[in-house]
Amino acid sequence: MRPKDVLDLAKQAGAVMVDLRFVDLPGVWQHTSVPIHRLDEGSFEDGFGFDGSSIRGYQPINASDMLVVPDAETAQVEPFTARPTLALTCSVVDPITRQPYSRDPRYVARKAEAFLKQTGIADTCFVGPEAEFFVFDNVRYEQSNHKAFYELDSVEGQWNTGKEGVNLGYKVRHKEGYFPVPPTDTLMDIRTEMVERLHEVGIEIEVSHHEVASAGQCEIDMRFTPLVQMADKLMWFKHIVKNVARRHGKTATFMPKPLFGDNGSGMHVHMSFWKDGKPLFAGDSYGQLSEMALHFIGGVLRHAPALAALTNPTTNSYRRLVPGFEAPVNLAYSQRNRSAICRIPMYDTSPKSKRVEIRFPDPSCNPYLAFSALMMAGIDGVLNKIDPGDPLDKDIYALSSEELSQVPHMPGSLEDALNALEADHEFLLRGDVFTRDVIEMWVEYKREHELNPVRLRPVPYEFFLYYDI
């Protein structure tokens, strides 16, 4: 779509406002809006100003003037505003040098795609994430210096079997939410509305269903697209899921582990390399994969502890990544086996379907950074012909402690993951895709604003354990 086409779309929609969206360093959409008359063809080069010092992970206050420059290819009509609004995803630019801003996560992803082509390995990295989420009926939480609590509720929640008043039963038992039909699954119509809104903004959906956990865990899967496009689409995905839930008086969250004792929300990421319209991951090696695909897996396995700092970037992520529970933490690969962190799906033998499913990421990540980092690890594996070792086709959860001791594993905390990223990030710097400044800012932000504040605060369960000491 050209700038002129965007202006025609705005006119056809009767748009009165333009919503300019970009992503902060942690991965949350930010926006500013201008009246439609301010948008012309020059806007797609000149951009619009904003204060970068007020955005998480961006510029200091003494260098705060920045520009958002809309990408014409991303134009969509916003589904949720009362007045017709045109939405544009933007890149961030320095107003003095007119160069892309190095800490703009979308710029990192654009550089990653360019680097892949530069290597000659492939010209496209296709990405297909499976982002799980919860839809709750109510959420309450508070943290002060003398009080802390959270409380979640869902009409589906197993804990509501004995709720007084009108109670129609059909609760989802813990870990039995995959796939009961209505009335046990109360969210089918809401998910269908989400799918319809996603289709309206050009996102093709492959499947929608209730997920394993009680209390409204869901999954809606998008059809694979190239890396930057998919990161853009995942931002729309979260936006639509949250706003459709809100329209129904409910609340959606992509927090990885909101419930104790039940499954958390992961985001399995399917990836494959293509060149000149041909898939490169199909072959006659293990799992019907090519040698390139196995080397890709080797790169992901080698760098997985560092990748975790970007793919599982919250303290809450490590409530899900616990050995022996639902999320894979052991650095192994296998066909069909969902207990390995890299799985080779075997539903379809078509060369076009051959891909690697990376199972440890979760939907709290910044998709521009996470997808780029996963691809860069895979590129490192291909360039250096990293051997992934032998596949592990056993149920890893059933291995003995002696067998498990021979299998390396993911970091056990955000602190461990950040330490791993500091020790292992040269593969991310190739082609200037990630810069040292971006990595240093990421680690600093996570430690200062998330890791240390959580570490300093007592949690309610500590009172259960220790109050009578």
Catalytic center residues: 51, 130, 132, 211, 219, 268, 338, 357, 359
Q: Are 364 and 372 in contact (CB under 8 A)?
A: no
Q: What is the 3-state secondary structure (H, E, C) of 240-293?
A: HHHHHHHHCCCEEECCCCCCCCCCCCCEEEEEEEEECCEECCECCCHHHECHHH
The closest alpha carbon to 33, from 51, 18, 14, 50, belongs to 18
Task: Give phi and psi for 271, each to the nearest 5.
Answer: -135, 145
Q: Are 334 and 384 in contact (CB under 8 A)?
A: no
Count Cβ neighbours within 10 Å for each residue of 243-265 and write b for 16 or more, e otherwise: bbbeeeebbbbbbbbbbeebbbb
Sequence letter at residue 37: H
Separation between Cα atoms, residue 17 and residue 36, nearest integer Å: 5
Q: Are 181 and 223 in contact (CB under 8 A)?
A: no
Separation between Cα atoms, residue 342 and residue 393, nearest integer Å: 11
Separation between Cα atoms, residue 442 and residue 112, nearest integer Å: 17
Query: Which two structure tokens, joined as six digits, stand for 406?
Result: 């021979």
Q: Cα 139 to the chain's mean position, in Å?
A: 22
Residue 351, SS3 per DSSP: helix
Write out the DSSP string of 126-192. Answer: EEEEEEEEEEESEEEEEE-SS-EEEEEE-TT-GGGTT-SSS-------TT--SSPPTTT---HHHHH
Long-range pairs for 159-162: beta carbons < 8 A, 24 or more residues apart: none
Q: Cα 262 to the chain's mean position, in Å?
A: 20
